[in-house]
Amino acid sequence: MDRFIDDNLRAQLTEAFQPIERDVEMLVYTSSRVVVPGQEPAGEEQATLQLVREVADTSERLSVVERSLGADEGARARGITRAPTIVLREKGSERDNVRFIGLPAGYEFQTLVEALRMIGSGDTGLGEESAAQIAAVTEPVHLQAFVTPTCPYCPRAVLSAYRLALANPNVLAEGVEASEFPALAQRYRISGVPDTIIDGPGGQERVLGGQPDRVFVDAVLKVARNGVPA
């Protein structure tokens, strides 16, 4: 398989990751190779592993851990059921609420890079008022941002979801490569991207397009029973 990152891009990534002050790991869940009836087939596992390893090679602050869904008994209980799923988190942390399901290629490569920078620097760019409102959410809220590699507006939606998840462990944010997992996309009747489905104890909201962070914040507060929309 050809390399994803050439020398020029490698140099750019090395520079982009210079501000990172915390060690960040990319935990990649792969399938057990056992076909489960009714379960959507695995996506681009090997390509995903190669890509994240090449990214990790550009900074000593980055690392990759591969884990099998079949060997991790707690993964399904935590809602990790598809491979590949990338969990992005500070090394040593047990948090797994920032995820990307599928291969982060094309425009979604930008999502991966920016997410690593946010986690590694501790600076998400989420405003103080929004961060405080999201931090006050006490019940689980789930954001699924459906994207495709060819969509230039999609990274904005996924990164908005990630900002909210980094502000509160009760918020689970997933970027989902819709073309790689069509059955999941069809379940939510995804007809265009980005399309973000937000589920919580108070119902479901939908955010179409790459909207400002505030739109996602308000949607989360609407479905969180203790949320107070601005």
Say how far apart CA 202 and CA 212 lie, in whole Å: 22
Tell me what pLDDT residue 39 has. Answer: 58
Tell me what pLDDT residue 230 has. Answer: 43
**CATH says 7-223 is which class?**
alpha beta
Q: What is the pLDDT of residues 110-156, one digit of tens each?
A: 999 999 999 999 999 999 999 999 999 999 999 999 999 999 999 99
Weakly modelled stretches of the chain, pLDDT under 70: 1, 32-40, 226-230
Domain edges within the chain = 7-223
Contacts with 171 (C-beta within 8 Å, 6 or more apart), sequence order = 97, 134, 137, 140, 141, 143, 164, 165, 220
Which DSSP string corresponds to 160-203? HHHHHHHH-TTEEEEEEETTTSHHHHHHTT--SSSEEEEEETTE
